[in-house]
Chain A
Amino acid sequence: MFDLSPTAAQQSAVEELRSFRPRIREIAREVNRTGRLPADLRTDLSRAAGATPEAVADGSSVLLDPVGLVLVAEELAIADAGTALEIIGAAQAQLLAAALGDSAAVERVGALRAFGDVALGLYEGYGRAPSEYRLRAERQGDRWSLAGRKDPVSHGADASAVLLAGRTDDDASAAFLVEAAGVQVERDDRKEGKLALGLVASAAVRVDGATVPATARIGASAEEFTVLRAFNTQRLLVPAVSIGLGQAAVDTTAEWVSGRKVRGAALGRNQGVMFPLVDAGIALSRARLQIWDLASRLAEFDTGAVLERRVGRAVAAACAAGTQAARIACNTMGWRGLSQQFLAEARYRDAGVLSAVDFDVLHHNVPVIEAA
């Protein structure tokens, strides 16, 4: 039935995370420069977000519900996109195992998390939806041989294990838990540097015929649509973070223009200044409601194709709204929008990275058409 109220647990998580917003913002630039989040803050945020191994294992995590995941991700991203990705990203492999109904794997991944990150190898770039993933698993007796490339993978270069999403030789969607030793790092963004989101240790990884035991396949008994849904659910993190950073851009810019005086009047009294900001806010509202609707009815789509079209469209809308908001914020604040004294330019860079992570040409217009 139609209702836009979050559950009590979701509301409580969002409110607790909101209380951390000032502290996260205060150190956002520093943590994304150094790639290190203070341990106490990481612990507090992981607990509040339901991202701990224990919360996922005992079923109490709000992130297990796709709606909870997008609400928590947006709230954290309003404070800092990198922090949102780092905190929730750490739980994604375990969340995926839970969505596949594999309780043993949930425990296993949870136990591994005590020794370091378990990375989730989902994306392949170049506009591939999960049903089109090219990472292949070939059955060889009682083992699987894996071959393919994943990019980007958070903590792909330093995780203790990677959960790889791909397809089997009989064309079924499947996930395999592979120890770090079986995975080659093709690009380590920590070493090479990247545009933004430095807190997220992204990497490109490759498996070239590595073999793993049959037990490495997570959720082996899950139906095809269940697996596809589980993969696509984790794709909602990026758009939710985009919406959050875009909302932060709109809110902080609105606050700035209401105080900034130009020729004796508040800058915000100028409609030429405000209308683009309003439009950015509306685009965020539309994208948010689209993703809420999608998250609340992921189980209802009757085919994987419909599901993936919906998710692809939501990703595109949210990332477009996030980049639009970040761009308008920079423009509106003039030189201050470009200066590293403020977070506007950081959000612009964050939005660019996010919009490239899960880009699909099928869901984006050619930019020159929109710009014209």
Chain B
Amino acid sequence: MAISLKPSQKTVELVELTRRWSLDVVRPYAREADTNEIYPDVPEVIEACPLDVAPVGFATLRDDEYVDRAHTLKTDIEFGPNVLSVFMTEPLSQGDSWAWQMLHGGTVSEDFINLIGTPEQVEKWCTGEHVLTAIAMTEDQSGTDLAGIQTTAVRDGDEWVLNGKKVFISNLLECEWIVLLATIDPEAGSAGVRAFILDRDDIAKFDVTTDKEDKIGFRFIRNATFELHDIRIPFDRCVGGPEAPGVAAALGVFSKNRATCAVWGTSIARGCLGFTEQWIDERAEEYSPARLTRIRADFAEMHDTLDDVVRLALKSAWLKDRGENAAATACEAKAVTPKLAESIVLRCLQLVGAEGASERHLLEKWYRDIKMTDAMLGPGQVQRRSVAQMLLRGGAGR
């Protein structure tokens, strides 16, 4: 053992392949994805991805499953799957973000089932052909605070009866099945919350009040608001069963996802930098030597700053791979990255000038998209609050 933050050569090669895929194959459909507010219907783009699985899904792969189309088994990875996940998320959105969510394991619903589901549930819902899935957690009154969930699940014989309302749910109308969080004991706070699996037939019975939230960015992801009125599902759809320790035990997926979400932001910013560097290079003669020198120094500093925050995410992933508490570091990465990434995208927009704000280019889209990464899994204030609590308990720091 010795401290090293270098990826293996194999990882470097896979990162570059993935980066090229994102730039060359994904980016050409970025404007279409934004304008039509839906994933473009181009399965060949997904088939061309060097990865078999979205990086956020690496950790829950079985040992005999592949992480990429070159057939690298999970067990072939020189370091843990969470570290690989961070390395591989970095190139994924440099072309644009729309495509990677279509990859297998792109949402945390499979993670929930893999982590706390019964073997039968894992077999039924998490194996076989890839389908798009979703997760319904957020509620109007409490956001993503588990303890505040008011959607109820009441047992009635061999069924569960669900009532409540969920907001801002991604991919509801496109997914094949959804994991929905509801409480079986409203007095018990987060301890009463369980996860339930609902299939397309169940989703068809939802009272969808908004099928597509109008929002600033990531418009290719449709977010729905819906109500549940006496929706009945079979008893075996409770993930892990009602006696399982509850979904709080599976919330570790979010500490992992905070790190990858942070790197999602650096990936967008890195793509912006690449675009803008090329734009400036093509017009280098239009700048005074002093300004060109300053701009190039700024580019170097912005790349290095992104490296700084990616290291925080890598540390969190490394701790997770070792079975150690990664929550504080994950929150640290998520706390600082969106603001930095936003400032970099803004600087790119400024460097290109008024033309950068035009829909002729994608910069204006990325400026809108990057804002989304702050709110996802909790904005900076929420992350700082979590770190503060851990710091007071002596659970944060080095």
Contact = CB atoms under 8 A, between A and B. Distances in A.
A288 B6 CA distance: 15
Interface stretch (B37-45, B206-214, B263-271, B309-317): B309-317
Name, among A4, A8, A317, the residue most crowded by chain B CB atoms within 10 Å (CB to CB).
A4
A247 B391 contact: no
Contacts of A212: none
Contacts of B300: 309
B4 interface: yes
Nearest to B314: A2
A238 B382 CA distance: 34
Interface string A36-70: 00000000000000000000000000000001000
A85 to B, nearest CB: 20
B6 A1 contact: yes
Contact of B392 (A7, A257, A309, A313): A257
Contact of A292 (B5, B309, B332): B5
Nearest to B310: A289
A185 interface: no
Name, among B318, B387, B394, B398, the residue most crowded by chain A CB atoms within 10 Å (CB to CB).
B398
A257 B393 CA distance: 11
Contacts of A7: 1-2
Interface string A1-36: 111111110100000000000000000000000000
A279 B301 CA distance: 20
Contact of B3 (A3, A254, A286, A309): A3
Nearest to B317: A2
B388 A286 contact: no
Contacts of B8: 1-2
A171 interface: no
Nearest to B79: A2
Interface stretch (A93-101, A214-222, A268-276): A268-276
Interface in B231-254: none
Contacts of B304: 313
A3 B83 CA distance: 9
Nearest to B383: A278
A1 B2 CA distance: 9
B388 to A, nearest CB: 4
A2 B6 contact: yes
A271 B389 CA distance: 10
A289 B308 contact: yes
Contact of A4 (B318, B388, B392): B318
A99 B311 CA distance: 28
B225 interface: no
Interface residues of B, number: 38
B384 A274 contact: yes
A327 B392 CA distance: 19
B22 interface: no
Interface residues of A, number: 41
A290 interface: yes
A6 B388 CA distance: 27
B308 A282 contact: no
B198 to A, nearest CB: 37
B79 A1 contact: yes
Contact of A286 (B78, B309, B394, B398): B309
A327 to B, nearest CB: 17
Contact of A254 (B307, B314, B392): B392
Contacts of A3: 1-4, 79, 318
Interface string A177-189: 0000000000000
A247 B1 CA distance: 25
A77 to B, nearest CB: 12
A277 B2 contact: no
B78 to A, nearest CB: 5
Contact of B312 (A1, A271, A286): A286
B5 A2 contact: yes
B326 to A, nearest CB: 12
Contact of B315 (A278, A279, A289): A289
Interface string B314-348: 11001000000000010010011000000000000
A271 B388 contact: yes
B269 to A, nearest CB: 16
Contacts of A169: none
A221 B253 CA distance: 55
Interface in B1-54: 1-8
A258 interface: yes
B2 A278 contact: no
B397 A278 contact: no
A261 interface: no
Contacts of B69: none
Contacts of A5: 1-3
Contact of A247 (B6, B83, B336, B398): B398
A236 interface: no
A293 interface: yes
A297 interface: yes
Contacts of A293: 5, 307, 311
Contacts of B309: 286
Nearest to A6: B3
Contacts of A279: 335-336, 384
A281 interface: yes
A282 B1 contact: no
Interface of B: 1-8, 78-79, 83, 87, 300-301, 304, 307-309, 311-312, 314-315, 318, 329, 332, 335-336, 381, 384-385, 387-388, 391-392, 394, 396-398
19 contacts: A1-B8, A3-B3, A4-B318, A6-B3, A71-B3, A250-B391, A254-B392, A271-B384, A274-B392, A278-B384, A281-B387, A282-B332, A285-B312, A288-B398, A290-B307, A293-B5, A296-B5, A297-B4, A297-B5
Given A278-B332, A278-B388, 16 more contacts: A1-B6, A1-B7, A2-B79, A2-B318, A4-B5, A4-B315, A5-B1, A67-B2, A254-B394, A254-B397, A266-B392, A275-B384, A277-B391, A292-B3, A292-B5, A297-B6
